[in-house]
Amino acid sequence: MNIVERASVVNKWFDRDPTDHKYIFLMMILGFAVLLLPLTGLFIISSNQSTRINAQISNIEGVGPMPPLPVCGEECTSMTVSWSRPSALAQFVDSRGRTTTCTGDGLSCMVSGVFTPNSDINYTVRVKNTTGAIIKAGTDKVTPKKQATASWSWKYAVAVFPSSYRDCIEAGIHNECLIKTVANDYSQNSVVYNNVKAATEYMVYVCAPNCGEGTAILQTKQTTPAFVVPIVSPIPSPTSQAYCRYVGSSVVQPGLPLAVSHSGFAEGESVVLSSATGISPVALGKTISSLGGVQTQQFATPTTLVFGSYQIKIVTRFPIVNFPCGDVGIFAPSATQTPVAY
């Protein structure tokens, strides 16, 4: 059928009587298909999202950024997951098809008396037993004493998620399946999760070498501690008898020290020079504690200080209070200097 003939057929369909049963049936099918299109798109999106999460869980030792940590606001806490190194089983086979096995709780095991001296041997190392995940495939040469050795190292994946979710995939949709990888050969291992929800029961999985095709060596539940509001020690406020006094000349050259005597102040309060002419306050330093008596401190003035009249103040943090200590003039060396009266 050529293009003209096909077009003729199409035209005949659309030129039909609207009451024709076949025409009505075709229109119903087309309308149903149009309604299904949005749902089909949602299914594809959902399917792709599930595939990405499955890939993330299965390829747990793969590179790539972790999903964002769950938002727990200020009520976050930490959780430590600990586990012991599992045992491993090594399966040996030579070119003649002879096989044997050995197990080890450490990082190697040895077989003896089975294979031909100086022959090459292949081995596969699995987690725990013959059904465990493979963690290494290697070769060795049989010694003259008919001994062969398999060695291995360990790599783990640790996955935690709130037990309110069915599994890590469901939790991953909400960015709450948290995954860490650990590569070491210690007999005892641990990993710390920060910024987890407080007072929440978590499912904990430790797998080797991953939690996709690997073997689970720990599966348990762990409840995080309740959130504890941190105790912040208040800054000691000045005592009701607090005072400060400038002890020195009424006129001082820039760069020369100013002596301030004070009592009743906590350590770390600010000593500043304040000007009435709009010059920004100049920080001179911090107080040492004078809560138990009187302290006299020397504070150097900047050599670049603008000439003018200033007031020396102690500005406290809690509560914020300005304590005037006295006035001083900062001028050139030719200015007359007289002792200040007090």
Give the pLDDT of residue 36: 53
Residue 202 resides in a domain: yes
CB 32 within 8 A of CB 138: no
Residues 114 and 221 in one domain: yes
* pLDDT attached to residue 222: 96
Q: Are residues 224 and 90 in the same domain?
A: yes
Return the residue matching tokens 């000593």: 271
**Distances, alpha carbon 252 to alpha carbons 110, 245, 330, 337, in Å:** 86, 16, 5, 7
From the list 90, 104, 184, 100, the residue with the least C-alpha distance to 135 is: 90
Identify the pLDDT of residue 302.
87
Contact at 8 Å (CB) between 314 and 239? no
- Per-residue pLDDT of 176-194, as tens digits, reads 999 999 999 999 999 999 8
How many domains is the chain partitioned into structurally? 3
Nearest 5°: phi and psi at 173?
-60, -30
Q: Is there a contact between 196 and 79 (Cβ–Cβ < 8 Å)?
A: yes
The pLDDT value given to residue 303: 85
Residues 95 and 223: their CA atoms lie apart, in Å, by 52
User: What pLDDT sits at residue 4?
Assistant: 41
Whether 43 is covered by a domain: the verdict is: yes
DSSP SS3 for 183: strand
Query: Is there a contact between 248 and 330 (Cβ–Cβ < 8 Å)?
Result: no
Contact 60, 180 (CB under 8 A): no
Distance, in Å, from the CA atom of 227 to the CA atom of 75, rounded to the nearest integer, reads 6
Q: What's 12's DSSP letter?
A: H
pLDDT reported for residue 31: 61
250 & 216 share domain: no
Task: Supply the pTM of this predicted model.
Answer: 0.50
Query: What CATH number has the domain bearing residue 263?
Result: 2.60.40.1930
Domain encompassing residue 263: 243-330
Note whether residue 342 is domain-resident.
Answer: no
Q: Are 277 and 310 in contact (CB under 8 A)?
A: no
Residue 236: inside a domain: no
Q: Within this chain, do residues 141 and 17 fall inside the same structural domain, yes or no?
A: no
In terms of phi and psi (left: phi > 0; alpha: psi -120 to 50; beta: otherwise), the region of 283 is beta
**Residue 175 near residue 70 (C-beta atoms within 8 A):** yes
What DSSP assignment string belongs to 263-326?
ES--TT-EEEEEETTSPPPEEEEEPPP-TTSEEEEEEEPPTTPPSEEEEEEEE-SSS--EEEEE
Q: Where are the alpha helices (DSSP H) in the chain?
A: 3-14, 21-58, 168-173
* pLDDT tens-place string over residues 270-279: 999 988 776 7
What's the pLDDT score for residue 236? 57
What are the Cα distances from residue 328, in Å, to 41, 301, 303, 342? 78, 11, 15, 13
Is there a single domain that holds both residue 192 and residue 99?
Answer: yes
How far is 264 from 288, CA to CA, in rounded Å?
Answer: 10
Among 173, 205, 231, residue at a domain's last position: 231
Statement to judge: residues 136 and 185 lie in one domain: yes
Reading the chain (342 residues) residue by residue, the pLDDT tens digits are 544 454 444 445 445 555 555 556 666 666 655 555 444 443 333 334 333 334 444 444 333 344 455 456 667 888 999 999 999 999 999 999 999 999 999 999 999 999 999 999 999 999 999 999 999 999 999 999 999 999 999 999 999 999 999 999 999 898 899 999 999 999 999 999 988 999 999 999 999 999 888 999 999 999 998 877 666 555 555 656 788 999 888 888 888 889 999 998 889 999 999 887 767 788 999 999 988 889 999 998 888 888 888 899 998 887 788 889 999 988 877 544 444 443
Confirm whether 129 is domain-assigned: yes
Cα distances (Å, whole numbers) of residue 336 to 274, 305, 333: 22, 18, 8
Give the residue from 200, 231, 262 where a domain finishes. 231
Are the beta carbons of 218 and 128 closer than 8 angstroms? no
Total count of residues recorded for the chain: 342
| Gap between the Cα atoms of 227 and 315, Å rounded | 35
Q: What are phi and psi of 13, to 5 degrees?
A: -65, -45
Same domain, 53 and 115: no
Contact criterion met (CB below 8 Å) for 224 and 197: yes
Residues 91 and 130 sit within 8 Å (Cβ to Cβ): yes
